[in-house]
């Protein structure tokens, strides 16, 4: 049985056709002498074939081919820079603002409808976000962002699924917000676009990556917003945050380091599946639990946390959420409630493909018609 499985996986690997990966996403070939015998991208595929074929069953072949194909982007409009002409230009390209279309212009649900929004506010989306995507099956690309008249870039290109954790966090005007693992800064920028942050702490352990975050902020956010003590960028170990600033924030985003599944299939550079990084990879779930626990401790009782990854792995997603909740209960007697995002998922299912059977949280799975993600997110409320 085991031999059959190994042979099956070996055959699959032989058939894996990397030539279908678009040129701009292929890694640069090294000289023969330095080229690894078994590249990390291939190790990643081997690992995913073994774990995800079990985890996703019949869904895995379609997720797999989507992961190996060119991903789709979203254009997050920069509210600090743009007049309405940017939205108009994006509409001319036949892109549509999936947030505005979904959240604000939805047909009212019929009375007594089973899908009607729950009265609970857990699904309420962070406001003022505008993100354009091409419709299902349209694989057009956005032109690069441009500098606007105020000296700020007009939009930020990102995986549109990356906006979902920020939308799910449900910011309210005047919130104090912590972005625990913030660099290179796509989600930090989205948090600021809501106009809700009384102040925002954006942290990342890596100083080189916080420099990238600073560059993003300089290119997209006016100086007065960056300066007025409203945005603080730090390079601390996020695991210590509970001790540094416990019970402090209304909303916390914990977008942890993970196996970055799509990146790991396409880029040799900084690939977590390099043999030398095996230990680091194995320790990821432990680090993720510690970061989520720290994020929960930094939240005020009654405040909200969103945990997110760009991995399909249940071990890095649902198990981490369950592990951190248990840890807070056992070590600190703090109760955490996982919020039901079913309604939130229904709002966005025309744009994204969701895995239908997550135990906790929601998972966007790559699909050739809507090739976003993977993106897992789970919203929690700290009760005590
Ligand atoms: C998935 S990335 C964050 C992406 C970012 N939120 C965005 O949307 O652009 C995870 C980040 O966690 C950072 N990180 C790793 N270990 C950390 C730690 N102990 N404390 C804080 N940040 C950490 C990494 O440097 C990396 O930039």
Query: Among the atoms of ligand 1, which is closest to the Cα of residue 256?
Result: 10
CA angle 328, 330, 332 (to 5 degrees): 55
The H or E element spanning position 163 is helix 163-169
How close is the Cα of 123 to the center of ligand 1, in Å?
A: 25
Query: Among the atoms of ligand 1, which is closest to the Cα of residue 255?
Result: 6
pLDDT score at 35: 62
Cα dihedral 86, 92, 97, 102 sign: positive
Neighbouring residues of 148: CB distance < 8 A, sequence distance ≥ 6: 78, 81, 82, 86, 154
In a structure prediction context, what are the per-residue pLDDT tens digits for the chain, which is 384 residues long? 444 444 444 444 444 443 444 444 455 555 555 666 789 999 999 999 999 999 999 999 999 999 999 999 999 999 999 677 899 999 999 999 999 998 866 554 544 544 444 444 445 899 999 999 999 999 999 999 999 888 999 999 999 999 999 999 999 999 999 999 999 999 999 999 999 999 999 999 999 999 999 999 999 999 999 986 799 999 999 999 999 999 999 999 999 999 999 999 999 999 999 999 999 999 999 999 999 999 999 999 999 999 999 999 999 999 999 999 999 999 999 999 999 999 999 999 999 999 999 999 999 999 999 999 999 999 999 999
Q: Is 378 a catalytic residue?
A: no
CA angle 359, 259, 193 (to 5 degrees): 80
Q: CB within 6 Å of ligand 1 — which residues?
A: 162, 181-187, 203-206, 209, 237-239, 255-257
Q: What would you report as the CA-atom Rg of the chain, rounded to the nearest whole angstrom?
A: 21
Query: Among the atoms of ligand 1, which is closest to the Cα of residue 290?
Result: 19
pLDDT score at 104: 66
229: left (phi over 0), alpha (psi -120 to 50) or beta: left
Which residue has the least CA distance to atom 27 on ligand 1?
A: 183
Is residue 156 a contact partner of residue 76, using CB atoms and an 8 Å limit? Answer: yes
Instruction: Say what the pTM is.
Output: 0.89
How close is the Cα of 274 to the center of ligand 1, in Å?
A: 19
Task: Using alpha carbons, list the distances in angstroms from residue 21 to 25, 174, 270, 332.
Answer: 7, 45, 19, 48
Three-state DSSP class for 198? Answer: strand
Tell me which of 125, 131, 197, 310 is the catalytic residue. 310
Query: Among the atoms of ligand 1, which is closest to the Cα of residue 238?
Result: 20
Which residue has the least CA distance to atom 16 on ligand 1?
A: 205
Tokens of 256: 């942890």
How close is the Cα of 203 to the center of ligand 1, in Å?
A: 8
How close is the Cα of 309 to the center of ligand 1, in Å?
A: 10
User: Residue 305 and residue 320: Cα distance in Å, rounded?
Assistant: 14
Residue of 165, 178, 181, 219 to mutate, ligand 1, most atoms within 8 A of C-beta: 181
């Amino acid at each position: 049985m085991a031999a059959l499985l190994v042979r099956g996986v070996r055959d699959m690997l032989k058939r894996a056709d990397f030539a279908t990966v678009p040129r701009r996403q292929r890694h640069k070939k090294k000289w023969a002498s330095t080229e690894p015998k078994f590249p990390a991208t291939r190790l990643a595929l081997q690992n995913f074939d073994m774990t995800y074929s079990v985890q996703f069953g019949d869904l895995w072949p379609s997720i797999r081919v989507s992961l190996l194909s060119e991903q789709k982007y979203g254009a997050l409009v920069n509210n600090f820079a743009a007049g309405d002409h940017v939205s108009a230009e994006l509409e001319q390209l036949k892109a549509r603002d999936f947030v505005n279309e979904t959240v604000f212009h939805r047909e009212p649900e019929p009375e007594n409808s089973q899908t009607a929004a729950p009265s609970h506010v857990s699904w309420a989306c962070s406001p003022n976000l505008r993100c354009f995507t091409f419709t299902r099956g349209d694989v057009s690309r956005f032109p690069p962002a441009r500098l606007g008249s105020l000296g700020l870039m007009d939009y930020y290109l990102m995986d549109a699924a990356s906006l979902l954790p920020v939308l799910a966090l449900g910011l309210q005007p005047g919130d104090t917000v912590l972005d625990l693992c913030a660099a290179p800064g796509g989600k930090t920028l989205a948090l600021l676009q809501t106009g809700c942050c009384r102040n925002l702490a954006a942290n990342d352990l890596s100083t080189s990556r916080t420099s990238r975050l600073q560059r993003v902020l300089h290119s997209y956010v006016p100086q007065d917003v960056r300066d007025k003590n409203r945005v603080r960028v730090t390079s601390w170990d996020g695991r210590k945050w509970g001790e540094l600033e416990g019970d402090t924030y209304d909303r916390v985003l914990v977008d942890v380091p993970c196996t970055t599944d799509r990146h790991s299939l396409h880029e040799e550079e900084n690939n977590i599946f390099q043999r030398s990084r095996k230990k680091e990879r194995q320790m990821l779930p432990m680090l993720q639990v510690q970061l989520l626990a720290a994020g929960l401790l930094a939240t005020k009782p009654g405040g909200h946390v969103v945990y997110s990854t760009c991995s399909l792995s249940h071990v890095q997603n649902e198990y981490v959420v369950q592990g951190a909740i248990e840890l807070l209960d056992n070590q600190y007697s703090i109760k955490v409630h996982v919020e039901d995002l079913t309604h939130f998922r229904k709002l966005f299912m025309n744009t994204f493909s969701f895995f239908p059977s997550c135990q906790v949280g929601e998972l966007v799975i790559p699909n050739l018609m809507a090739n976003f993600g993977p993106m897992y997110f789970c919203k929690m409320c700290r009760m005590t």
